[in-house]
Chains A and B, each alone.
Chain A
Amino acid sequence: MKRLVILLSSLLLPFLVNASDLKETPGLQFQNQVIEHVADVSETDFKGVFEFTNTSKETIEILEVRPTCGCTIAKLDKKIYKPGESGVIKTTFTYGSREGKQTKIIVVSTDAKANNRIKLTMKIDIPKIFKMTPSVLIWKTETESINETKTVLLESLTSDPIIIESIKPNNDNFSYTYEEIEAGKSYKITVTPRSGLVVEGIIRSTFEVQTDFKNRAKGRLKFYALAR
C-alpha cells in the first residue's frame, strides 16, 4: 500500500506542477493575443487593436510595449490600470516592400506578479503581385560565353491583366528585347551583353520595368544584369 502511494505521488507530481501553468493566471488578460489578416493589394499598412483587462486584485503598470520590428509601432493610451480596468494597445504594421506571410510580435512587460510578459502576434498575409525569375542575371565569363543571351520571366500573380509600359536600363552595357507569352499575364525579357563588351572586373546594369498596375510604385520592378 505504502509503495503504491509513493508510486502514484511520483506519477502525479510533474503533472500537478505543470497544471499550474495551464490555469488562467491573473494579470493583464487579452481578449485575443493573435490577430490574423489577409491584406488587399492596395493596402500599405495594417492597424491592429489588442484589448485587455486587468483581472488581478492589484493595480498593474505596463512597463514596456516593445515591437520586435522597426516596421511596427505600438501605442498605449496610459500605463497604469486598476483592478477590473480595461485598455487597448493599438498597433500599426507598415508593409513597405514586404510580401507573403509575415509574423510581427509585440512584447508587453508589466509589473504584475504573474503573467507579466505577454506576447502579442500579428499574422499578416501580404499578396505577391508579380513574380520575376530570376531578378539577377549573371554571366560568369570564366565558364560561359559573354555572347550568351539570358531571359527573365515576368508573371502577374493577380487576376488583373498587366501591360509592360517601359523597360529602362541605367546604361548600355546590355541590350534587351521582350515578348508577351500570355496576354496580360506573362512576359519574357531577353538580355544580351552589348556586342564587343570587354569584361574587366565587373560590368553591371539595372533595368527598371514599369507596368500599368494601378499602384504605380508597386507596378515598378527591377532586375539586374552582371558580367564578371
Chain B
Amino acid sequence: MQGPQKTITQIFWIILVSLLASGATYLIHPNLPAWDPLEIREGEISVADAMALEAVIWIDARSEEEYNKGHIPGAILINEDDWDSYFGNFMANWGGETNFVVYCDNRLCDRSTHVADRLKSSLELETIYELKGGWQVWLQTQQ
C-alpha cells in the first residue's frame, strides 16, 4: 500500500473506532445528562409554541412569594401550597378557555408537573401543557 493511501486508511480506522467507542460510552455512561434543552417531551411545550396558542391561560405553579417577585404577564397563581384556595379562586372566574400552560421555576422543579396533572384531572382537558424550562427559560427569551 502506497504512502498517502495508507495514511487515509489509518485515519479512516481511527475515526471509525473512535466513533464506536464514543457511541458505546454514550449508551452506558452513568452520568449522562437526562435533560436535553432541545427535546420537547410529551406534555411539554416550548415558549414559542405556547405564545402561538390561542386564548392561552398561563398558570404559575411557584410559591406566592416567587409569583409576587415576577411572573409571565396575565399568569394566574395556582400552586399546591393551598390548592383549594387557589383553584377555588380560579374556578370563580374561569371562562371556559381550554389551552393552559403551566410553569414553575426551572427544569429541576416538579411543581408544574403536579399542577398540570391536577388541572387535567379536574377540568378533564388534554390541552394543558408544561412550559419547557419554566420561568428561567421565559426570562431568557425576554432579554
Contacts and interface: CB of A to CB of B under 8 A. Distances in A.
Interface stretch (A32-40, A74-82, A102-110): A102-110
Contacts of B126: none
B76 to A, nearest CB: 16
Given A11-B17, A136-B124, A97 B30 contact: no
Interface stretch (A2-10, A47-55, A179-187, A188-196): A2-10
Contacts of B121: 134-135
A205 B43 CA distance: 30
B120 to A, nearest CB: 11
A71 B95 CA distance: 30
Interface in A175-228: 202, 204, 206, 220, 222, 224, 226, 228
Interface in A112-154: 119, 134-136
A10 B14 contact: yes
B80 A97 contact: yes
A13 B18 contact: yes
Contacts, number: 98
A160 interface: no
A10 B17 contact: yes
Nearest to B111: A69
Interface string B23-67: 001000111000000000000000000000000000000111110
A14 B14 CA distance: 13
B18 A15 contact: no
A71 B29 CA distance: 33
* A interface secondary structure, majority: mixed
Contacts of A7: 13-14, 17
The number of chain A residues touching the other chain, given as a range, is: 35 or more
Contact of B81 (A22, A71, A119, A228): A71
A105 B81 CA distance: 17
A98 interface: yes
B21 interface: yes
A96 B63 CA distance: 11
A12 B21 CA distance: 8
Given A68-B105, A69-B111, 20 more contacts: A6-B14, A7-B17, A14-B22, A15-B25, A22-B30, A22-B31, A68-B109, A70-B63, A70-B65, A94-B81, A97-B80, A97-B82, A98-B80, A102-B110, A107-B108, A134-B122, A135-B122, A224-B88, A224-B91, A226-B96
Interface of A: 3, 6-7, 10-15, 18, 21-22, 68-71, 94, 96-98, 100, 102-105, 107, 119, 134-136, 202, 204, 206, 220, 222, 224, 226, 228
